[in-house]
Amino acid sequence: MDPEKTQTLEPGAPRAETKPVSARTFPADRTAPRAAAAWLRSLPTGLSATRLADAELCLDELVTNIVRYAWTPAADPDSHSITVAVDRTPSELEIVVQDDGRPFDPTAAVLPPIARTLEEASPGGRGLLLVRSIASRLNYERRDGVNRLILAFPIEATEQA
């Protein structure tokens, strides 16, 4: 996926027929990113090992961003949660991430410029670029106070067996 050409799902837009695999809710705390990635790894996704590692990396990055930035620093993390659902279509694995944090559309976020030299480089701030580059599809909608992000990873014919 070209990081500059993300897709945004219009609220209420139909999606390809999906088959639920599993869903889980995680507390919005520092344990959530790794817990969500480990949970994904435990599911029968049908993805190759390489694609599953990519999906885990993207999920970890997005959940980390939600935990760090979705709520004000004074917010009680026990009062918030992040729900992750995994669905399959005939050709894709979809990961749906939902939170009740501040509105944020990662498909429309302006990415920082890529550093041309080591002196220009700074740690962090490249997670959305990574997600946009790896996921084959990235859709966002906000409805009823909830951010909903769908990441998709293609399932190749050899992976579907």
The two beta strands, 19-27 and 92-99, are unpaired
- Is the pLDDT assigned to residue 156 strictly greater than 70? yes
What is the Cα–Cα distance from 83 to 62, expressed in whole angstroms? 12
pLDDT of residue 75: 63
- Burial of 31 (C-beta count, 10 Å sphere; 0-12/13-18/19+): exposed
What is the Cα–Cα distance from 40 to 34, expressed in whole angstroms? 10
- Is the pLDDT assigned to residue 140 strictly greater than 50? yes
pTM (2 decimals)? 0.81
What is the Cα–Cα distance from 120 to 122, expressed in whole angstroms? 7
What is the Cα–Cα distance from 71 to 118, expressed in whole angstroms? 32
Could you report the per-residue pLDDT of 10-69, keeping only the tens digit for each? 444 445 687 999 999 999 999 999 999 999 999 999 999 999 999 999 999 999 999 998
Q: Where are the domains of the chain?
A: 19-154
Could you report the per-residue pLDDT of 83-115, keeping only the tens digit for each? 999 999 889 999 999 999 999 999 988 767 676
Could you report the per-residue pLDDT of 121-130, keeping only the tens digit for each? 665 566 788 8
pLDDT of residue 15: 55
Q: How many CB atoms lie under 10 A from the CB of residue 129?
A: 16
pLDDT of residue 122: 63
pLDDT of residue 13: 45
Domain 19-154: which CATH class?
Answer: alpha beta
